[in-house]
Amino acid sequence: MENDGFQRLDRKLVYKAHLFDLYEDTVQVPNGNVAKWDYIGHKGAAAVVPVLEDGRILMVNQFRNALDRMAIEVPAGGRESTDEPYIDCAKRELEEETGFKCEYEDMEFLLSLKTTVAFCNEQIEIYVVRNLKKSEQHLDEDEVIHIKAYEPSELRDLIFAGKIQDGKTIAAIMAYLNKYNV
């Protein structure tokens, strides 16, 4: 029942981008019809919920071109390859974006999510990180990231007020609040 009668007949690369590859799939559906579907292949990403000693959570505020505005998000970034372990990506992105680092033993897996299952295979693994140590941001040349610590209840309020709309961030914060009864 896994494919329930659907069969991919062909996959053609249409466009190779920096962050993803765009394909056109030819799929036979259970009634015998053949359909053309778009598919985005993505290397995956990792995100972190960085919790300070006082319980506040570090968030990044950065410009998002697709929104044409700044967005409040959990620190996150793409894997360098499909072979890179998600935890390594999470550790790297934490330091690059926030200027804080951690040890592997201070990272706890929270959840894994697929961002857009209708047309993309992107998977994001999210970790809760504690015992943060000050380091330095290592931003890309096109990044400008502002860091701010929030009370967990403040983040919940921002989500329900529509001020935080990023899916991975909503999933990460709500899962964290639920798991730890914050």
What is the model's pTM?
Answer: 0.93
Q: Crossing angle for the helix pair 167-179 and 152-160, nearest 10 degrees? A: 130
For 94, the enclosing helix (H) or strand (E) is: helix 86-98
Which contacts (CB < 8 Å, 24+ apart) does range 17-20 have? 19/78, 20/120, 20/122
Q: Where are the domains of the chain?
A: 7-42, 45-179
Q: How many other β-carbons are positioned within 10 Å of the β-carbon of residue 84?
A: 15
Pick the CATH number of 45-179 from 3.40.50.11540, 3.30.70.141, 3.90.79.10, 1.20.1260.10: 3.90.79.10
Q: What is the pLDDT along the chain (182 residues), one digit of tens a residue?
A: 688 999 999 999 999 998 899 999 999 999 999 999 999 999 999 999 999 999 999 999 999 999 999 999 999 999 999 999 999 999 999 999 999 999 999 999 999 999 999 999 999 999 999 999 999 998 888 889 999 999 999 999 999 999 999 999 999 999 999 999 98
